[in-house]
Chains A and B, each alone.
Chain A
């Protein structure tokens, strides 16, 4: 079974500073990887996903993530954050080529951008 570890539950950062949200996964098979964002009292919105190909994935709102197979990581980065980036961020994995498995989430990282 796969699992997802988000190493930081809360990350405070000043506006216009860079940020990295860490995600590690464990799986014995190939997976698809996702980052979702949740704004207060909202549903989940897809930021970006890794399916195959280039290990550097660019998403919406200036975010990007890098898939590192040897370290089983998929860290999310943004070079300069805005107040509007304050939200909860979830990393998730999905087994490839498997019809009957659900998307598995980490516990989330709360990003707080400080003016």
Chain B
């Protein structure tokens, strides 16, 4: 059973471009969480998704950021018109359905650099 897979591991974008970060959860996990980690800071929650539903997006910036978790395929975190302040490590985690949710499993992260 492969772990949570994130790709790419490293992503470089010029200001104004779009960044698409992908996350494939562990097999059988229907819940996905995205976090952002800035230098010298902890992990900030961004968004919580189930298949085809956004459960909690209270941590997402109101503009330029969006996330989806389609019925088929990976979860995608999309950042439009990136700015230097978007440079960070973005981590995805997955967990089983609610009643079996006692642990979140993390991917290796995508390190976004905006130049």
- The interface of chain A, by Cβ under 8 A from chain B, is 6, 32, 34, 36, 41-46, 49, 51, 90, 94, 99-108
Q: What is the total number of residues of chain B having a CB less than 8 Å from a CB of chain A?
A: 26
B107 touches A105 (CB 8 A): no
In the assembled complex, the Cα of A48 lies from the Cα of B49 at a distance in Å of 25
User: Is B25 close to A, CB under 8 A?
Assistant: no
Are A49 and B106 CB-contacts (below 8 A) given A90-B43, A105-B43?
A: no
A90 touches B42 (CB 8 A): yes
Point out the residue from A6, A46, A102, A106 that lies within 8 Å of B103, measured CB to CB: A46
**B residues less than 8 Å from A49 (CB atoms):** 102-103
Point out the residue from A41, A90, A99, A103 that lies within 8 Å of B98, measured CB to CB: A99
A102 touches B42 (CB 8 A): no
Q: Could you say which of A44, A100, A106 has the most chain B C-beta atoms within 10 Å of its C-beta?
A: A44
**A residues less than 8 Å from B44 (CB atoms):** 105
